[in-house]
């Protein structure tokens, strides 16, 4: 089965000319699973958006924000809403590129004035998260890899 027609039909984006942001025109979810597992997963797969769980035990958020956005905006509009979806004892992995890889070199070379990786320092992001969330509620741990940083947040 090809996903292209489904994505083309349902995954439409709107572009805000004023601030340059891109967002989905409508809510959509996509469940991907192996055909031989369908019977086992039948009771867990939401059939419409209203059936999607309100709280989660585990969230992986990879490249979920622009690294040139102000950190206050990133925490307010992306990280806090994701944290609000965690169940008691839930965990979230926030993974993002540091810009110290081929892509970062390429962007810096061809677009030197754009500053794509302005806010790629994880300690500054963690500091901003701590300023904007209940300090006693979440534990935060940082792991820096060669090209990526992972921030673990848990209740």
Q: Are residues 140 and 83 in the same domain?
A: yes
Residue with the bigger pLDDT between 21 and 47: it is: 47
Lowest mean pLDDT among 76-85, 96-105, 125-134: 96-105
Q: Are residues 149 and 134 in the same domain?
A: yes
User: Domain tally for the chain?
Assistant: 2
The residue range of the domain holding 23 is: 1-52
Instruction: Report the CATH number that the domain containing residue 145 is assigned in CATH.
Output: 3.40.50.150
* Residue 134: Cβ-neighbour burial (10 angstroms; 0-12, 13-18, 19+): exposed
Q: Are residues 47 and 99 in the same domain?
A: no
Q: Is the full-model pTM beyond 0.75?
A: no
Lowest mean pLDDT among 3-12, 60-69, 91-100: 60-69
Separation of alpha carbons 17 and 24, rounded Å: 15
Distance in Å from the first CA to the final CA of the chain: 39
**In the predicted structure, residue 72 carries a pLDDT above the cut 70:** yes
Which of the listed residues 37, 52, 67 is the one where a domain comes to its end? Answer: 52
Q: Are residues 144 and 104 in the same domain?
A: yes
Separation of alpha carbons 111 and 108, rounded Å: 5
Q: Are residues 16 and 63 in the same domain?
A: no
Q: Are residues 120 and 130 in the same domain?
A: yes
* 54, 84 Cβ separation under 8 angstroms: no
Mean pLDDT of 78-101: 80
Contacts of 71 (CB under 8 A, 6+ apart): 119, 124, 125, 128
Q: Are residues 96 and 135 in the same domain?
A: yes
């Amino acid at each position: 089965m090809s996903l292209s027609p489904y994505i083309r039909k349902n995954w439409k984006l709107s572009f805000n000319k004023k601030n340059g942001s891109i967002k989905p025109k409508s809510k959509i979810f996509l469940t991907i699973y192996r055909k031989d597992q369908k019977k086992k997963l039948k009771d867990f797969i939401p059939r419409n958006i209203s059936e999607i769980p309100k709280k989660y035990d585990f969230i992986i958020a990879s490249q979920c924000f622009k690294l040139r956005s102000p950190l206050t905006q990133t925490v307010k509009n992306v990280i806090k809403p994701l944290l609000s979806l965690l169940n008691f004892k839930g965990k979230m992995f926030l993974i993002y590129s540091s810009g110290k890889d081929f892509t970062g070199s390429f962007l810096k070379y061809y677009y030197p004035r754009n500053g794509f990786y302005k806010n790629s320092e994880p300690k500054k992001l963690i500091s901003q998260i701590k300023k904007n969330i209940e300090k006693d509620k979440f534990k935060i741990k940082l792991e820096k890899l060669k090209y990526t940083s992972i921030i673990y947040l848990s209740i």
